[in-house]
């Protein structure tokens, strides 16, 4: 059984010292049990990084915010899906040729920190 502790003023009890009285309440304090002991939970496994594929975009794909002529890395599942639809080319020859054809940035366009 748990209770509240109440201090009575000295004049109420007739003594010069305040008295500490414990008042019983209907509330019970749960005893710690083995069920309430915190057990460390195993950490969830992180998903592996998706495999990335370098592709050349052959036509605009607004659903993926892709523009024709871009060379970029896509996750393998998206690259397969777009390749089946004819939207990208992942052959090394096509990607290499597109990279070689990209204009280089002028010195005035380069931002330095």
- Could you report the per-residue pLDDT of 59-88, keeping only the tens digit for each? 999 988 999 999 999 999 999 999 999 999
pTM to 2 decimal places: 0.50
Question: Is residue 111 one of the residues assigned to a domain?
Answer: no
Note down the domain range covering 56. 52-103
Indicate if 20 and 60 belong to the same structural domain.
Answer: no
CB 58 within 8 A of CB 86: yes
Does one domain contain both 63 and 98? yes
Is residue 59 one of the residues assigned to a domain? Answer: yes
Domain membership of residue 71 (yes or no) is yes
Domain count, the chain: 2
- Kindly report the CATH number assigned to the domain that includes residue 93: 3.40.5
How do 3-8 and 19-24 pair as beta strands? Answer: antiparallel
Q: Is residue 96 a part of any domain in this protein?
A: yes
Q: For residue 40, tell me if it sits in a domain.
A: no
* 59 shares its domain with 99: yes
- Nearest alpha-carbon partner for 57 in 76, 77, 79, 40: 79
First to last CA, the chain: 69
Q: Quick check: helix, strand or coil at residue 52?
A: strand
In a domain, 45, yes or no: no
Binned at pLDDT 50, 70 and 90, residue 102 comes out as confident
In a domain, 66, yes or no: yes
- Residue with the bigger pLDDT between 5 and 62: it is 62
Tokens 């019983």 found at: 24
Q: Is residue 41 part of a domain?
A: no
Instruction: Give the tens place of pLDDT for each residue, 13-39.
Output: 555 666 665 666 666 666 655 556 666
CA 94 – CA 71 distance, rounded (Å): 10
């Amino acid at each position: 059984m748990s209770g509240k502790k109440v201090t009575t003023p000295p004049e109420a009890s007739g003594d010069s010292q305040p008295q500490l009285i414990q008042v019983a309440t209907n509330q019970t304090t749960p005893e710690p049990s083995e069920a309430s002991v915190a057990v460390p939970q195993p950490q969830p496994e992180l998903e592996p990084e998706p495999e990335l594929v370098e592709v050349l975009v052959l036509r605009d794909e607004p659903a993926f915010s892709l523009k024709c002529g871009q060379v970029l890395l896509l996750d393998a599942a998206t690259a397969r899906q777009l390749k089946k639809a004819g939207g990208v080319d992942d052959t090394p020859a096509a990607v290499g040729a597109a990279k070689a054809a990209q204009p280089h940035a002028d010195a005035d366009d380069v931002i330095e920190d």
